[in-house]
């Protein structure tokens, strides 16, 4: 089944996922109120994912000034997310997409390869979603270094 690649201007697929805030979070609740930085990452507490989460954490006040909420999504369960968020003092919700439906809707559940082995997993990706619910920027195959800065820059244009 081929997934349509989401692009700038498309309506962001709505979702409802359990979060580290102890409640389900939906994209719809931010419409008309906040910009959303929705970032998909492969695994809690791994080197690249930790670095990415900590850079968003360290720049949080700048995202607040852009009227943006940060939401991290992976396939890890809530228990894993809570440990990860607690260990690194992450001040934004991590969402648990254990059935992979949201990752599929955003086209980030892809075949990957490592050490000659292929497997299905999350392609590190970020979607900047405007208050109107439309995708303002898409980053695929994200390189962690400098990513929070380029995301902030995209919010400046929105």
Q: Please say if 49 is a catalytic residue.
A: yes
Q: Is residue 23 part of a domain?
A: no
Q: Give all strands of the β-sheet with 35-40 in edge-to-edge order.
A: 94-96, 68-74, 35-40, 125-129, 135-139
Q: In terms of DSSP H, where are the helices of 6-120?
A: 47-58, 60-65, 78-87, 101-105
Terminal alpha carbon distance of the chain: 32
Q: Is residue 45 part of a domain?
A: yes
Number of structural domains in the chain: 1
Q: Which of 6, 12, 49, 154 is catalytic?
A: 49
Greatest distance between any 2 Cα atoms in the chain: 45
Q: What pLDDT was estimated at residue 115?
A: 85
Structural domain of 81 = 32-157
Q: Is residue 94 part of a domain?
A: yes
Average pLDDT per consecutive 10 residues, the chain (158 residues; last block may be shorter):
77 97 96 97 95 96 97 97 98 97 95 85 95 96 92 87
Output the six-digit token pair for 109.
């559940």
What contacts 24+ positions apart, CB below 8 Å, involve 82-88? Answer: 82/20, 83/44, 83/45, 84/44, 84/45, 84/50, 84/53, 85/20, 87/45, 88/50, 88/53, 88/54, 88/57
Q: Is residue 3 part of a domain?
A: no
pTM of the full structure: 0.94
Q: Is residue 20 part of a domain?
A: no
Please report, for the domain that includes residue 105, its CATH number.
Answer: 3.40.30.10
**Nearest Cα residue to 93 out of 19, 18, 17:** 19
């Amino acid at each position: 089944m081929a997934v349509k690649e989401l692009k700038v201007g498309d309506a962001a697929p709505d979702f409802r996922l359990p979060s580290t805030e102890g409640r389900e979070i939906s994209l719809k609740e931010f419409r008309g109120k906040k910009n959303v930085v929705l970032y998909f990452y492969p695994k809690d507490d791994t080197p690249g994912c930790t670095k990415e989460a900590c850079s968003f954490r360290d720049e949080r006040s700048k995202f607040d000034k852009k009227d943006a909420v940060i939401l991290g999504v992976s396939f890890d369960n809530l228990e894993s997310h809570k440990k990860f968020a607690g260990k690194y003092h992450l001040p934004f919700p991590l969402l648990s997409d254990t059935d992979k439906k949201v990752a599929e809707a955003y086209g980030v559940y892809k075949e990957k390869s490592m050490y000659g082995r292929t497997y299905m997993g999350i392609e590190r990706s970020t979607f900047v979603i405007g208050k109107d619910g439309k995708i303002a920027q898409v980053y695929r195959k994200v390189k962690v270094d400098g990513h929070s800065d380029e995301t902030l820059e995209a919010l400046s244009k929105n």
